[in-house]
Structure formats: structure tokens, C-alpha cells
Amino acid sequence: MARPRSVSKEDSLELALQLFWERGYDLTSIADLSAAIGVGPSSLYNSFGSKENLFRLAIERYLSTHAAPTLGRLDDKDAGTAVEYARGLLREAAKLYTSKGFPRGCAMFEGAGSGPPEQSPACAMTHAIKRDLNKTIRKRLDAYSRSGEMLSASSKVLAAFLLGSMRGLSQLACDGANRTELMGVADHAAQSLTGP
């Protein structure tokens, strides 16, 4: 029994996400968001509290929608061999980073600076997520090792390599590499997990 919001929270978050995705946290101002969403700044603050919180919610939306297929590959337990697991993960990432109608690269990697957690609020929140990604990949590789598969390096090194590859793919996408090129890089990186 009150005035209804002119734009739904979901719609607002999706529009905010796309701005953060394209320009990053620092270069996206409240005025930009306000104009893109079509509501005044006061409505944004009434709904989301702060720019930092809006970013957090936008990234959460990103992870649970756009990035869901990629995250699903992260702990895909039916991926076949380790190489096939890595290929599935990196190809899915490459696909996400070159989706038509959306900004290039990864919204989380590129949306916040890549600095240490204390550099900015946005860095702090994405830093924790990246740690989780690394941990998840490493667990999956450890499982391959335990089941007897020979890998080309330790799970620690390979987890860092795969996460680094995802970030490299994101940056290549930002710089204009097309999907075909990214898929080639993804395939090559995945293939490198082959044991001796």
C-alpha cells in the first residue's frame, strides 16, 4: 500500500551491471547510472543504499545469471579428463567474454580494479571471490590427481594457471579479440594440462 517503483530492482540491477561491466566501478558515476536506469539519484539510494552496495548486488546478479554457465564448469564433476574439464571451463569463459549485446570481458575481473583488497571497496569484494575460484579449481584438479590421472604440473600451479588464463582471456576480449581467436587460446591453454 504505497507508491510502486517505476523500475523494478531487477531491471535496475541489470542496467547498473552493464554500466559497471563496460566502464568499471570507478568510471561509472551515480549520475551515469541514474540516467541509464531512468530514475533520480534519490531512488537509487532509496533502493540500494550506496554505490558500493549497488555494485555488490550487480556483481551478484552477474554471477548468478550471465556467469552461471561458466561457474557451473568450475566444479563440473562429469567433465571427463582434466584437459576436457579445463577446455569446458575456458571455452565457456571465452564465450561469456564475447557475448553479443554485452560488454567485453568479465564484469567481475574488469569491473573492479585488480589491486589488493585494501585499494578500493570494489577490489575487496572481488578479491574474496577470486580466492574462491582458485580454491574450487584446485579441488577439482586434486580430484583428478587422486583418481590417478597424470597432470603436467601441481594442482597449485595449474589452478593459478587456469585462473590466470581466464583473466588473460578477459583482457584479450576487452582489447578486441574475437570469439574465434579466444577459443583458440582457450583450447591451447586447456591442452597444456596433458600429463607427460
Partner DNA sequence: CGTCAATTGGAGCGATGACTACAAAACGAC
Partner DNA sequence: GTCGTTTTGTAGTCATCGCTCCAATTGACG
Selected from 17, 39, 151, 177, the binder of DNA by CB under 7 A is 39
In angstroms, what is the minimal distance from the CB of 153 to its own copies? 5
Selected from 15, 36, 43, 179, the binder of DNA by CB under 7 A is 43
- DSSP reduced 3-state for 7: coil
Kindly state whether residue 146 participates in binding DNA, applying the rule CB under 7 A: no
Lookup: cell for 29: 558515476
Interface residues for its own copies in 22-81 (CB under 8 A)? 22-24, 26-27
Q: Scanning the structure block, which residue is given the C-alpha cell 548468478?
A: 64
Selected from 14, 22, 24, 45, the binder of DNA by CB under 7 A is 45
CA-wise closest residue to 86 among 156, 137, 145: 137
Selected from 16, 18, 47, 90, the binder of DNA by CB under 7 A is 47
Kindly state whether residue 10 participates in binding DNA, applying the rule CB under 7 A: no
DSSP string, 107-173: HHHHHS-SS-GGG-HHHHHHHHHHHHHHHHHHHHHHHHHHTT--BSS-HHHHHHHHHHHHHHHHHHH
Count of residues that bind DNA according to CB under 7 A: 24
Kindly state whether residue 121 participates in binding its own copies, applying the rule CB under 8 A: no
Task: Name the binder of 50 from DNA, its own copies, none, CB < 5-8 A by kind.
Answer: DNA
Lookup: cell for 75: 566444479
Are residues 195 and 150 in contact, defined by beta-carbon separation less than 8 angstroms? yes
CA distances from 106 to 103, 167, 169, 194, 195 (A): 8, 8, 9, 27, 30
Contacts with DNA, residue ranges (CB under 7 A)? 1-7, 28-32, 38-43, 45-47, 50-52
Contacts with its own copies, residue ranges (CB under 8 A)? 22-24, 26-27, 104-105, 109-110, 113-116, 119-120, 127, 130, 152-154, 156-158, 160-161, 163-169, 171-172, 174-177, 181-182, 184-185, 187-189, 191-192
